[in-house]
Every structure is written in C-alpha cells, then in structure tokens.
Amino acid sequence: MIEAPSTQLGLVDLLKDLFSEIIIPVSVEKELAAIPSQLKLVNSKSWIRTESITNTELFYELLKHLDAGEAESIVLSIEMEAELLLIDEKKGRRIATEYGVKISGLIGVLIKAKE
C-alpha cells in the first residue's frame, strides 16, 4: 500500500523491488493526476493498481482529521489487511497505528532499500 509514489527521485521502480505490488486508493490516484507525468508513470506500471474502498463510514470519520488520500489509504489498508501502509504525514501515521495498521514512511523505505 502506498499513499503517493515519489517520481521526483526517479526511484519508483525501487518500490517494486521492495514490495512487488503497490495498491493505491482512488483519491491518491486523483492527487497524482495534478501532475500528469506522475499519473502517467504510475499508470504505466503493471505492479501498481488502484482500488476503491467499501467502508465509507470509516472514511468519512477519518476525513474529519485527515485529507482524503490519507483517510482512504488507511481504510484500504484495513480492508485489504495490507502488510504495510506507506505514509509520511505525522497525524496520519498516528491514526493508522491506532487502527492497528503497520506503517512506514519514506525514510523507512530508503533504509529497507539500503539493506
């Protein structure tokens, strides 16, 4: 699970090496659409796919405290019983942890890549 792939470093393929599959929620895909080159890159990767959430009640509850991408990422992580949620925003990390979601941020990904 990833909240927003980073293409600025040109290392998006590193995510495939580390996680084999990345699933993003619809709202994150919409956020990526703000930068067409990012959306095009993500859409060109067969190992990145977009999924919709079903628990809209939890989504709207989380939306009171988080932006749509973070809220939907947490809900999708819970619904899919994801191994890991990549999320950097401090409040989102705290809330995800409260729901029992295992998290990592960009720094954690870079450390794992170095190992």
Q: Are strands 22-25 and 48-51 parallel, antiparallel or unpaired?
A: parallel
Residue 17 to residue 33: CA distance in whole angstroms: 24
Is there a contact between 82 and 23 (Cβ–Cβ < 8 Å)?
A: yes
How does pLDDT run along the chain (115 residues), one tens digit per residue? 544 444 455 667 778 888 889 999 999 999 988 988 888 888 899 999 999 999 999 999 999 999 999 999 999 999 999 999 999 899 999 999 999 999 988 777 777 777 7
The CATH architecture one would assign to domain 12-109 is 3-Layer(aba) Sandwich (3.40)
- Parse the chain into domains and list their residue ranges: 12-109
